[in-house]
Structures are given as structure tokens and as C-alpha cells.
Amino acid sequence: MQSTEINTNPAAKSLALFCKVVDNFGDIGICWRMARQLQQEHGIAVTLWVDDLRSFQRICPQVNTDAEVQQIAGVAIRHWRDQQGTFTVAEIADIVIEFFACDIPPDYIQAMAQCEPRPVWLNLEGLTAEEWIEGCHTLPSPHPSLPLTKHFFFPGFNNKTGGLLREASLDSERTAFQSDPAAMAAFLRQLGLTEAEIHATRISLFCYPHAPVTDLLKVWQSADTPVICLAPEGVATEAIETFLGQAAKAGANISHDALTVRVLPFIPQADYDKLLWACDINFVRGEDSFVRAQWANKPFIWHIYPQDKNLHHVKLNAFLEIATSVTASQTALSHAWNGVGNPPLDWTDLWQAFQADLPEIARLSGIWQRKMHENGDMTGNLLKFVNSVRAASQKDAV
């Protein structure tokens, strides 16, 4: 029997995501990941507006930095360069997301106000484990003069927040990769690792330039067993070059005692997960690699993005306190790595205590991951919220 009911509230079909690259790769890294997931898993027609195609190209080599419009992995990519007076109602997406409160073009907002129904407008905020975000997640913010409401959307670590970005197939892909030593070795070989390096303790290094890298390199140098430190090109360049005694170009490597440092080519984002999955310990930073390290199921140390007045220390501690996967030794090393407090530091002791806890940290990581899965994934949560806003606004209109 055919239903006579008319679907007056069809799900949103198109989405515009506006990304201003403030610095580094996290802004575009998060937006690109989310754009692909929205398209591939939810069939949404996504337009990703990005102002810096060069940074985008570093994580996605297919990007043509001269193209105004291009299509990659099913996502329409538009070079955002303050286009004025060009937006018509027909071009406005069902969902409009501004990433990190970037100001979307005024003309676009004007056109949004003329749409019927109005698009759902979200400001996607940065990730923090601080409790205050629970009170702000999904809060509405009416436009001062136009009939539009923007809502805040916060990623986070519990079900009072939007959850974390995670693709549906990620867990099965990771498990398949990690249980296939031949695939893992082939991947590492492709990055230039020798057989000896593949069998050493593998540590990936991604941090900001101020990290005390030299202190840890010294500790690894006097390890009892071989250690390989893998640093993508452009990461901790000064410390890496001092150790290498040469330019930190992809392929450069040198061994001193137990430690080999190898510079990797900067890896396309789609493969960066594999590096995290293939290493025994990962040093990550910012937001996106920090989340990916949690999905890798491997012990990690987070270098948090620095903020004025050491605000980032508050954020770091908020995470270390809620993350049930974190041991005391991991907290101590994280504090030292991020310059929290000013105690005299014995890096050998810090590292050895962390190393002794690695099996326990790996066990706890699995539990933490399952706990995070219970919150759903951020993209799915965001679409559920969007549809609830659409349903509510339709009810108001009746």
C-alpha cells in the first residue's frame, strides 16, 4: 500500500562548509575530513569553501591551487576569496557551517535570510574537554537584524556534546591493518624505512616547534633497544636538523647509538592514520591528529596548540582528567612535554615510567575508545541536530 502522507520535512541534502585557515593544517584537516564523511556516508552534496588552497594541498596532493572550483572525492571545493555580490537564493545550501567562527560572506548571509525554509546555520567550535561547553553546545544565537538563527556546535568527549569525528569504517580498517604485519611493513617500506627500522620501536613525531624534542631524542639515544623516530618534513625542524647535522628533507636519516631519526615526506591525510596505526607510540598535536591518535589504539602524547596566558594548560588538564586511558606517567610526561609547571625534569625517569606503563595504556585505550563510540560520531550527531532544528522550525511555521 502506498502512503499518502507527504513528507513535509525532507532531510537536508546540501551543505556549505566555510573554512578559514588560521595556521597549520588543523582547520582544513578537520573540514576536509568532515566534508568527505558527509558526502560519502550521508550522501550530502557538500561544498567546501576554503581560503588557502596551498595548505589544503599539503594534506591532499590532488588539490589544484589555481582552481576556483574543483571536485575531489565527491566534494565540491571552492576557493574562498571574499567573493562579493555573487550569491543567489538558489545557491544557498540546506546546512551552512562556519568553522571556528569564521565570518561567512555578508552576501551569503543576506541570501540565507531570503530562503524558505531557512538553512540551518551552525558555528562549529574547537575541541576541548572543559565542562563549560556542555552548557553552550547547540545554544541558539539569533541574528541581530535578519530572521536567522545560528547554533553553536561543540565536538567533545561525552553525550552532552557533539562527540568526535570518526568515519564508520575506521575501526574495521584499522583492525585489518594492525592485524596484517605484511601490510604494515609494506607501508613503512614505502615511506623509506629499512628492515632494521621496521623492527625497531617506532615513534611518530608531530608537535609544535617549541616542544622539548632534543630532551627526548637524548633519552631515546641511550635506550637499550633500537628506536626509530619518524618526523614528517616540516615538523620540529630545528631539533631534527641539529640531530641529523643536515637539512631535514624527506628521506634524511641518521643513527646515533640506539636512535635513528628519519624525516618522512609529509603524508597525505588519508595515509596519516596508517602511520599512527603502524607506530608503537605517537606524538600528536592540535586537534585532528590528537583525535586520530585516540582512534589508533596506541599510546600517545599530545602537544596542545599554545594559547595566551597558558590557557592551553587548562585545556590539557581537562583532557588528562577525563580521559580514563591516561596513566599518571602519561600525565607527567604530557606536562613536561607541554611545559606545565616548572619542576626540574628528569626526562629519563619520565620516559621510563611512561614506557613501563605502555601495555596498561594500550589496554585502557581500547576501553576509552569504546566509551567514545557510545557518544556517536560527530558528523552523525550534527545531522541529527540539524534535522531536529528543521523539524522545529517547520512546526513553528505551521
Q: Which cell numbers in the block locate residue 82? A: 571574499
Tell me if 340 contacts ligand TRH by CB under 6 A. no
Shortest approach of ligand TRH to residue 305 CB, angstroms?
4
Looking at the Cβ atoms of 74 and 126, the one nearer to ligand TRH is 126
Tell me if 27 contacts ligand TRH by CB under 6 A. yes
Choose one: 249-257, 264-272, 315-323, 371-379; the region binding ligand TRH (CB under 6 A).
264-272
Q: Which of 269, 198, 211, 267 is nearest to 240 (CA)?
A: 211
| Rg, C-alpha atoms of the chain | 23
Residue 167 bears catalytic tag: no
Compute the distance between CA of residue 7 and CA of residue 4 in angstroms, rounded to an integer: 9
Q: Which of 233, 287, 288, 377 is catalytic?
A: 287
Choose one: 138-146, 214-222, 279-287, 366-374; the region binding ligand TRH (CB under 6 A).
279-287
- 233-236 contacts at long range (C-beta below 8 A, 24 or more positions apart): 233/263, 233/264, 233/265, 233/266, 234/266, 235/205, 235/206, 235/207, 236/205, 236/207, 236/209, 236/211
Looking at the Cβ atoms of 59 and 97, the one nearer to ligand TRH is 59
Beta pairing partners, 205: 283
Q: Kindly state the number of chain residues that form the binding site for ligand TRH, as judged by CB under 6 A.
A: 23
Whether the CB-CB separation of 75 and 97 falls below 8 Å is answered with no
Q: Which of 184, 316, 209, 206 is nearest to 269 (CA)?
A: 206
Q: Which cell numbers in the block locate residue 100? A: 571556528
Give me the 127-146 binding string for ligand TRH, x by CB under 6 A, dash otherwise.
--------------------
Residue 5 bears catalytic tag: no
Choose one: 23-31, 34-42, 161-169, 245-253; the region binding ligand TRH (CB under 6 A).
23-31
Looking at the Cβ atoms of 26 and 163, the one nearer to ligand TRH is 26
Compute the distance between CA of residue 279 and CA of residue 299 in angstroms, rounded to an integer: 9
Tell me if 312 contacts ligand TRH by CB under 6 A. no
**Binding interface with ligand TRH (CB under 6 A):** 22-27, 29, 59, 126, 206, 232, 266-269, 272, 285-290, 305
Q: Which residues are annotated as catalytic? A: 27, 287
